[in-house]
Amino acid sequence: QLQASGGGLVQAGGSLRLSCAASGRTFSPYYMGWFRRAPGKEREFVAAISWSGGSTYYADSVKGRFTISRNNAKITVYLQMNSLKPEDTAVYYCAAGYRAPTTAMGYDYWGQGTLVTVSS
C-alpha cells in the first residue's frame, strides 16, 4: 500500500512537498514516480526516480521546478514542487513498479492521491 500526503492549497509561486510511503509489505520497487490528473484531463506523468536515485525523469512541464527524491530505507518517495502554477492543480498519485518509468502501465502499485490546488 502506498500512502501519499502533503497536498494542500498554495498560492502561485509557492511550494509544496509531497511524500509517499509504502507500508504493509516488503518490496523494493525499482521505479517510484508521480502522476497527476487535473480536472477534466487525463492522468499524466510528472516525475520518476530509479532505485539508486541515479536516474530521474521529468515531464517537460515541471522540469526545473519539481525535484523527485527517494529514501530506500523507508521506501518513500518525495516530490518537492517549487514555483507552482495554477495549471499544476491536480490530484497527485504516487506509484511504484519495475518497468517503464514514464508511463502508467509501467507501475504496479498506486497510492490514493493527494490534492494540490494552486490559486492565482
Spatial separation of the C-alpha atoms in residues 56 and 102, rounded to whole Å: 10
The residue assigned the cell 490514493 is 112
Q: What is the mean pLDDT of residues 61-68?
A: 98
51: confidence class by pLDDT, cuts 50, 70, 90: confident
More confident residue, 52 or 13: 13
The 8-class DSSP code of residue 53 comes to S
What is the percentage of the chain residues whose pLDDT exceeds 70? Answer: 97
pLDDT, residue 75, reads 84
What are 76-109's pLDDT values in tens digits?
999 999 999 999 999 999 999 988 899 999 999 9
Percent of the chain with pLDDT over 90: 80
> What is residue 25's predicted lDDT score, i.e. its pLDDT?
64
Contact 20, 69 (CB under 8 A): no
**Considering the chain, what is the average pLDDT of its residues?**
93
Given a cut of 90, is residue 58 above it in pLDDT? Answer: yes
Query: 3-state DSSP: the chain helix, strand, coil percent, rounded to 5?
Result: 5, 50, 45
